[in-house]
Amino acid sequence: MNPFTEIVIQIIKSIPAGKVMTYGQIAKVAGSPRGARQVVRILHTMSSKHKLPWHRIVNIKGEIAISDEESAYSQRTMLEAEGVFFRSNGLVDLEKSRYVPEISDVDII
């Protein structure tokens, strides 16, 4: 596994219940500010294997970015159950719910 992937997995695992991060935010913290698509790939291929809290990741607008309606509904339900704030337009309120990890929260390799 390459170092970027390992760091992304650590970051995602560090997101506490009731908080979210964006794909781009994770990429930036992992050292690749333009690596949001790689974060998507990692989530898609490794969520089950590494038991990642995939539902805590949204896009930069605060949208649930899953096109499958059932999965998107499931993600929103899980986030609401954890106390994530949604705006009246259906977007996650990133001002209230965004997680900004401390360096000590993530063991950067």
Number of domains in the chain: 1
List of residues 6+ apart from 73 with CB closer than 8 A? none
CATH code: domain of residue 35: 1.10.10.10
Is residue 23 very low, low, confident or very high in pLDDT (cuts 50, 70, 90)?
A: very high
Cβ pair 7, 30 in contact under 8 A: yes
Backbone dihedral angles phi then psi of residue 64, each to the nearest 5 degrees: -75, 120
Backbone dihedral angles phi then psi of residue 68, each to the nearest 5 degrees: -70, 120
**Residue at 102 is within a domain:** no
What local confidence, expressed as pLDDT, does residue 69 receive?
92
**Residue range of the domain that includes 75:** 3-97
**Residue at 76 is within a domain:** yes
Mean pLDDT over the full length of the chain: 93
**Residue at 108 is within a domain:** no
**Residue at 85 is within a domain:** yes
Q: What is the dihedral of CA 99, 61, 64, 81, to 10 degrees?
A: 40
Which one has a higher pLDDT value, 41 or 67? 41
Name residue, tokens 């059932």.
Answer: 70
